[in-house]
């Protein structure tokens, strides 16, 4: 991976443009960095409390702005 991509993956999920509710749900499920987030599939994420279809859409949209996506997308 290019250095810029690696740096981006090491960043906190707090830099994502998602609602505070979605960010809190990610943190409650021990997802702290963008790398941890993109290693998840939508199916795995949706099993977590607080991460329903709306949150998944938010997450996908925020990742797309960084040219990233969830595993398997």
Tokens 């969830």 identify what position?
70
Give the tens place of pLDDT for each residue, 17-73.
999 999 999 999 999 999 999 999 999 999 998 999 999 999 999 999 999 999 999
Over 90: is that where the pLDDT of 8 sits? no
Measured in whole angstroms, the distance separating CA 21 from the mean position of its chain's CA atoms is 13
The pLDDT value recorded for residue 7 is 79
The pLDDT value recorded for residue 18 is 96
Tokens 């906190």 identify what position?
12
The pLDDT value recorded for residue 2 is 55
Beta bridge partners of 12: 33
pTM above 0.85, yes or no: yes
Q: Which two tokens stand for residue 44?
A: 């795995």
How far apart are alpha carbons 36 and 38 in whole angstroms? 6
């Amino acid at each position: 991976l290019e250095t810029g991509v690696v740096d981006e993956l090491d960043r906190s999920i707090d830099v994502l443009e998602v609602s505070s509710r979605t960010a809190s749900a990610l943190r409650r499920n021990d997802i702290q960095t963008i790398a941890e987030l993109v290693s998840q599939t939508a199916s795995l994420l949706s099993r977590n409390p607080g991460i329903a279809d709306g949150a998944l859409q938010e997450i996908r949209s925020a990742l797309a702005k960084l040219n990233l996506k969830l595993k398997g997308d």
